[in-house]
Amino acid sequence: MTRYFARKIGLYILAFWAGVTIDWAIPRLMPGNPIEAYLARFSLNSQGSWTALYKLFSKAFGYNLPLWDQYWHYWDNLFHGNLGISIYAFPEKVTTMVAQAAPYTLALLVPAIVLSYVLGNRIGAIAARRKILDNTVLPLGYLFQAMPYAWLALAAAFYLAQLERWFPVQGGSAVGIASGFTWAYIWGLVSHWFLPFLTVFLVSFGGWSIGMRNLVIYELETDYARYLRALGARSRLVRRYAYRNAVLPQLSGLALALGTVIGGNIVTEVVFQYPGLGHLIYIAATDQDYSLLQGIFIFIIAGVLVANFLIDIVYIVIDPRTRLSMQGAVA
Amino acid sequence: MSDVDQAATSSAPVAPGAPLTGVRAPGAAPVGGAPLGRKAYSGGRRWEFLYFAVRNKKLVLGLGVEIIFVLAAIIGPYFAPYPPKQFVAPAFLHPSAKHLFGTSYFGQDVFSLLLYSLRNSYLVGFLGAAFAGVIGLGIGFIAGWRGGWLDEILQTFTYIVVMIPSLVLLIVIGAYLKSHSAFFEGVFIGVTTWPWVARAVRAQTFTLRQRDFVDLARLSGKRGPAIVLKDIAPNMASYILLAFILLFGSSMLIAVNYDFLGLGPTSGISLGDMLNLAELWSGLQLHLWWWFIPPGAAMTIMVAALLVANVGLDEVFNPKLRET
Amino acid sequence: MSLSVRNLRIAYRTLRGDVQAVDDVTFSVADGEIMGLAGESGCGKSTLGNSLIYLEGRMRHLGGTVELDGKVLPISDDRAMNRHRMRDVSIIPQYAMSALNPTKKIGVLARDLLKSRGTKLAKVLPEFRRRVALVGLPDSVLEMYPFELSGGMRQRATMVISTLLNPSLLIADEVTSALDVSNQRAVGELLTEFRDRGYVKSMIVITHDLSILAQIADTIMVMYAGKLAEKADAGTIIDRPLHPYTQALLSSLPEVGVRYEEEELTGIPGRPPSLLDPPAGCRFRDRCPFAFDKCAEEPPFVELLPGHQVACWKAAQDVAGSAEREHEEAAR
């Protein structure tokens, strides 16, 4: 469409380029040589075989080429959907591994983000006008916000899984049940999903509800709300307007908060050993599986950008100001 | 403005996207409290501030709890019953009078570990907040003051930083960089969390620079940087303080994430390290709850106290929020 | 008698205590009358105007009654008041330029508001469009968002919405203060036009700008420090004011059309007393060049000349003196 969209898409492309470049540059900028680090895993005895292998791997990973060529190859591979081969799960392709892990992460993140956002907004808006709710939701919201993800996850795993045994402690699906479209298998998925979901949900929920409460209180003090009250508008109408306007900054906040939630999600997956991307990137890091690491990094950045794109679209739909500025109609 | 008493200037919305998302910090609108255009803190206002500060329960409570923890971090190690990392007792001991929080898998005294850990957590939190604050203020001021193409570039840069999840980046870096210090961790947190400060500061500088008193300063021949520091910044003083408190809390929380994944400082211990070790050595499966519950609880209290103090301070700065 | 206010007392709750912004005020506004309400900022004129329609959170009704068209307005009962808002009393607020929700089309806003008041937009739509044209806005305004309009256009849209249900009384709070001189004049003319066409029966125009009142008001009431100082026909107030404060206000106007500064009156040193703990006696005493012993006592707001009410001992003396002289002359 017009300028607004062109600008946004330009920003996405720029951000993606920056992400990929950083991803490419890190191994080359860091002290030490990734190939040396890699060869250290093989406990080689003779100097000769070390040199031979070094040459081999340098060539295989393209480290012997000039930097520009390496950079070019990197992009070329990327566009062909080739993120390299995992060392940790040799000879699995990185893309395959990412594709296997991604659904788990999405199943955690998407409902956790959407539900915490929607419910947090609702509850926060109600808390803005109900003293009782305000006095309970607010302190709870602050408490959840102040909790480290890792600790909330550990505490939940300990109490609800270890002690009460309501949920399995770790993993993504029930052990010993064949995957397939069976109730047992699906139940296994759901029961393993619940606690990590709850952790991510609760921390975010606290933030959204507090944010919404404060925004609605602020909106109820604005001139347009005063005018409506002075002219005898029903309080429901005033609240509806206030809520709708308060959602806008919350939505841009959602775009900004994505990185934090993703970080929390990684930690949570590690605690529950949930087989998503967070757990995978953790394993990749501890096993020094560089291609896998870089592949996941690119995938996550792409995911953040897609999420931002979706948020932008929602924003355009609910805020007439951006919609009109897109048509260049603003006075 | 209106008749009678408009002392209560507009209160302001949140800083959307702050790491502690919902926490209220006066955002885009002119900073509450101090009437803009006058010197923000003349003597009278300072006394008024103190008057309301000591009477605000949330501020006193939050600050009080925080001070206790800070003191524990500073002098705790001198009073810790046992050296932190040594194996002083049999493993798996339940909490008792002798070992307040029991002992770990290795027979370390958990209470002593906790006392020693507080320092690093505070240090990293402070470093992160300081760096994020300085970068955020700098970029926000420059973008808001200069405007134009420089603003465009800085905004684009800010946007890109927002788009790259910092934890993922650190995991990748951490895979290559084998050892690093608390200083590195603090700087890294600072370098990745400044965008929301920069955005808010930019928006406010933008509004403030159109005010009469800034025009006056400009006419009197003051240079840009002097105006920003002497005329604009003081009018945001309350906001900057509140933002710093939020940054402090969020930096400590982020550091827990990093340390938990083993990406923290390679020497020294922190609350996140304790969680990491408890997780690695099956504290969960062995039901050693006294190993991982106290460090997380301590962190929760430390951050919650900051948030409560922040809300209290906000009420002190913004008369409208005070309960009438 | 359209509006009749008796012994009205309104306070603001502040951190330092109650501020008596409107203190024992009694006046009336006739059908078809445009009454100007003037005074320095902080004198309580906005509080008085607002209290007739909506008491905000920190405002308290301490006493007194308000009657409109023979019915008592329950000003301290927010819910009961709703029935009267927009239909009987309406307001163009001080903040008229930002009074419209930025994310709602103006037509939608009007629809929602009317629904709250139990009317359908369709019923008043033709009239709505006519009035939109009258204030000089394009017909498409109903389909526009407030941010697509200029400040002045938004204010006019607010004027039309506020008066859609033909209220008996309209309070126009500082409607001209943010405008340049030519627009002030135009808005002033619109206000009289609204009255002449019967969109509103009577009007209270609150302003610190006496020159605009000279243009549009039938009567002018002057307030000082929460109290009424003087009320009379606009011409009388402008030409033959009796209260020393009114005289000072007028003399600080070098010529009609130039506004005096809000903060301080040139020619009258000092500032109004604090309303937290107002002094006894005449509140203008400390700044009044004519103050004498009697002023330690509070002057009553009484009709000294036909249709001319003043709260001032000095003025009372002068009027009595000249009346006596006339009497003597007549007797001779």
Q: Do B304 and A146 touch (CB under 8 A)?
A: yes
Q: Do A259 and B165 touch (CB under 8 A)?
A: yes
From A223, A233, A319, residue closest to C113, measured CB to CB: A233
Q: Which residues of A205-242 are buried (b: 16+ CB within 10 A; e: fewer)?
A: bbbbbbbbbbbbbbbbbbbbbbbbbbbbbbeebbbebb
β-sheet with C169-173: strand ranges across: C89-92, C169-173, C202-207, C34-38, C219-224, C227-233, C308-310, C302-305
Has residue A34 got a pLDDT over 60? yes
Tell me which of A79, A108, A138 is where a domain ends. Answer: A79
Contact residues on chain B for A270, CB-CB shorter than 8 A = 260-261, 279
Cα distance between residue A211 and residue B203, in whole Å: 19
In contact, C2 and C53? CB cutoff 8 Å:
no
My answer on whether B65 and B10 are in the same domain is no
Q: Do A266 and B168 touch (CB under 8 A)?
A: yes
* Long-range contacts, stretch B237-240, CB < 8 angstroms, 24+ apart: B237/B31, B237/B34, B237/B40, B237/B41, B238/B26, B238/B31, B238/B32, B238/B33, B238/B34, B238/B40, B238/B313, B238/B317, B239/B25, B239/B26, B239/B31, B239/B200, B239/B201, B239/B204, B240/B133, B240/B137, B240/B201
Which residue is listed with tokens 């939608």?
A: C108
Count of domains for chain B: 2
Cα distance between residue A297 and residue A16, in whole Å: 11
H or E element at residue C7: strand C3-14
Cβ-Cβ contacts under 8 Å between B and C: the total is 34
Tell me which residue range forms the domain holding B288: 57-321
H or E element at residue B60: helix B57-79
The maximal CA–CA distance of chain C, rounded, in angstroms, is: 75
Given CA atoms A166, A169, A170, A174 in this order, what sign does their dihedral have?
negative
Q: Do C44 and B324 touch (CB under 8 A)?
A: no
What is the average pLDDT across A140-169?
A: 85
Cα distance between residue A85 and residue A93, in whole Å: 5
My answer on whether A174 and A115 are in the same domain is yes
My answer on whether B17 and B101 are in the same domain is no
**pLDDT of res. A329:** 41
My answer on whether A66 and A147 are in the same domain is no
Rounded to the nearest 10 degrees, the angle between the axes of helix B166-176 and helix A3-29 is 20
Q: Flag whether A84 is in a domain.
A: no
Tell me which residue range forms the domain holding A70: 2-79
Has residue A142 got a pLDDT over 80? yes
My answer on whether A293 and A212 are in the same domain is yes
* Sequence letter at residue B19: P
My answer on whether A106 and A27 are in the same domain is no
Q: Is C289 helix (H, G, I), strand (E, B) or coil?
A: coil
Q: Flag whether A289 is in a domain.
A: yes
My answer on whether B46 and B88 are in the same domain is no
Beta bridge partners of B103: B109
**pLDDT of res. B126:** 94
Q: Do A232 and C116 touch (CB under 8 A)?
A: yes
Burial class (CB in 10 A: 0-12, 13-18, 19+), C30: middle
pLDDT in tens, chain B (324 residues): 333 322 222 333 334 445 554 443 433 333 333 333 333 334 455 667 777 777 788 889 999 999 999 998 888 888 777 777 777 777 777 787 777 777 777 778 888 888 888 988 999 999 999 999 999 999 999 988 888 889 889 988 998 898 888 888 888 888 777 777 888 889 999 999 999 889 888 888 888 887 778 778 877 777 878 888 877 888 888 888 888 999 999 999 999 988 998 888 877 788 888 888 888 877 788 788 888 889 999 999 999 999 889 888 888 887 655 543
Cα distance between residue C228 and residue C236, in whole Å: 16
Q: Do A259 and B171 touch (CB under 8 A)?
A: no
Q: Flag whether A12 is in a domain.
A: yes
Short-list C54, C59, C62, CA closest to C14: C59
* Sequence letter at residue B167: L
Rounded to the nearest 10 degrees, the angle between the axes of helix A235-272 and helix B148-163 is 50
Q: Flag whether A33 is in a domain.
A: yes
In contact, A242 and A220? CB cutoff 8 Å:
yes
**pLDDT of res. A325:** 62
CB contact, 8 Å: A233 with chain C? yes
Shortest Cα distance, chain C CAs vs residue B7, angstroms: 9
Q: Which residues of chain C have pLDDT under 70?
A: 1, 15, 253-269
Cβ-Cβ contacts under 8 Å between A and C: the total is 80
Which residue is closest to A234 within chain C, CA to CA? C116
Q: Do C43 and B3 touch (CB under 8 A)?
A: yes
Q: Do C19 and B4 touch (CB under 8 A)?
A: yes
Count of domains for chain A: 2
Q: Do B324 and C57 touch (CB under 8 A)?
A: yes
Q: Flag whether A71 is in a domain.
A: yes
Tell me which of A23, A50, A79 is where a domain ends. Answer: A79
Half-sphere exposure of B155 (CA within 13 A, CB side): 18
ipTM of the complex: 0.89
Burial class (CB in 10 A: 0-12, 13-18, 19+), A91: exposed
Cα distance between residue B72 and residue B78, in whole Å: 10
Residues 99-118 of A with CB under 8 A from B: none
My answer on whether B86 and B137 are in the same domain is yes
My answer on whether B30 and B63 are in the same domain is no
Half-sphere exposure of B6 (CA within 13 A, CB side): 13
Q: Do A321 and C104 touch (CB under 8 A)?
A: no
My answer on whether B23 and B146 are in the same domain is no
Q: List, in order, residues 6 or more apart from A181 with CB less than 8 Å away.
A: none
In contact, C116 and C87? CB cutoff 8 Å:
no
In contact, C252 and C245? CB cutoff 8 Å:
no
In contact, C77 and B33? CB cutoff 8 Å:
no
Q: CA-based angle C175:C178:C181, to the nearest 5?
A: 90
Cα distance between residue A211 and residue B27, in whole Å: 12
Q: List, in order, residues 6 or more apart from A174 with CB less than 8 Å away.
A: A168, A184, A185, A187, A188, A189, A191, A192
Beta bridge partners of A93: A85
Cα distance between residue B276 and residue A154, in whole Å: 10
Q: Do C116 and A224 touch (CB under 8 A)?
A: no
From A15, A27, A215, residue closest to B163, measured CB to CB: A15
**pLDDT of res. C254:** 53
Q: Is B272 helix (H, G, I), strand (E, B) or coil?
A: helix
Shortest Cα distance, chain C CAs vs residue B320, angstroms: 10
From B3, B7, B324, residue closest to C13, measured CB to CB: B324
Contact residues on chain C for A244, CB-CB shorter than 8 A = 103
* Long-range contacts, stretch A59-63, CB < 8 angstroms, 24+ apart: A61/A34, A61/A35, A63/A34, A63/A35
pLDDT per residue as tens digits for the range A214-244: 888 888 888 999 999 999 888 899 999 999 9
Q: Do C12 and B4 touch (CB under 8 A)?
A: yes
Q: Count of CB atoms within 10 A of residue C160's CB?
A: 25
**pLDDT of res. B12:** 38
Q: Flag whether A27 is in a domain.
A: yes
Which residue is listed with tokens 């059908």?
A: C31
CB contact, 8 Å: A321 with chain C? yes
Tell me which of A47, A79, A111 is where a domain ends. Answer: A79
My answer on whether B97 and B149 are in the same domain is yes
Q: Do A227 and C147 touch (CB under 8 A)?
A: no
My answer on whether A49 and A120 are in the same domain is no
My answer on whether A108 and A73 are in the same domain is no
My answer on whether B94 and B242 are in the same domain is yes
Q: Do C46 and B7 touch (CB under 8 A)?
A: no
Cα distance between residue A322 and residue B272, in whole Å: 42
From C14, C43, C45, residue closest to B5, measured CB to CB: C14
Residues 187-246 of B with CB under 8 A from C: none
In contact, C76 and C35? CB cutoff 8 Å:
no
Q: Do C101 and A324 touch (CB under 8 A)?
A: no
Shortest Cα distance, chain A CAs vs residue B159, angstroms: 8
**pLDDT of res. B190:** 92
**pLDDT of res. C27:** 93
**pLDDT of res. B130:** 95
Domain containing B222 — which CATH number? 1.10.3720.10
* Long-range contacts, stretch C115-120, CB < 8 angstroms, 24+ apart: C115/A237, C116/A232, C116/A233, C116/A234, C116/A237, C117/A231, C117/A232, C117/A233, C117/C85, C117/C86, C117/C87, C117/C165, C119/C165
pTM (predicted TM-score): 0.82
Q: What is the 8-class DSSP label of residue C88?
A: T
Q: Flag whether A141 is in a domain.
A: yes
Has residue A117 got a pLDDT over 90? yes
My answer on whether A106 and A74 are in the same domain is no
My answer on whether A150 and A280 are in the same domain is yes
* Sequence letter at residue B231: D
My answer on whether B135 and B283 are in the same domain is yes
In contact, A64 and A76? CB cutoff 8 Å:
no
Q: Two tokens at B62?
A: 């939050």
Short-list C170, C201, C167, C166, CA closest to C52: C170
CB contact, 8 Å: B151 with chain A? no
DSSP line for C142-173: GGS-GGGS-HHHHHHHHHHHHTTT--SEEEEE
From A253, A270, A305, residue closest to B21, measured CB to CB: A253
**What distance lies between CA C21 and its chain's CA centroid?**
14
Task: For chain C, state the CA radius of gyration.
Answer: 21
My answer on whether B92 and B118 are in the same domain is yes
Shortest Cα distance, chain C CAs vs residue A154, angstroms: 44
How long, in residues, is chain B?
324
H or E element at residue C21: strand C17-29
Residues 283-322 of B with CB under 8 A from C: 319, 322
Query: All domains of chain C, ordered by start, with CATH?
Result: 3-88+167-253+272-331 (3.40.50.300), 96-165 (no CATH)
Shortest Cα distance, chain A CAs vs residue B173, angstroms: 7
My answer on whether B117 and B266 are in the same domain is yes
My answer on whether A184 and A312 are in the same domain is yes
Shortest Cα distance, chain B CAs vs residue A118, angstroms: 14
My answer on whether B42 and B63 are in the same domain is no
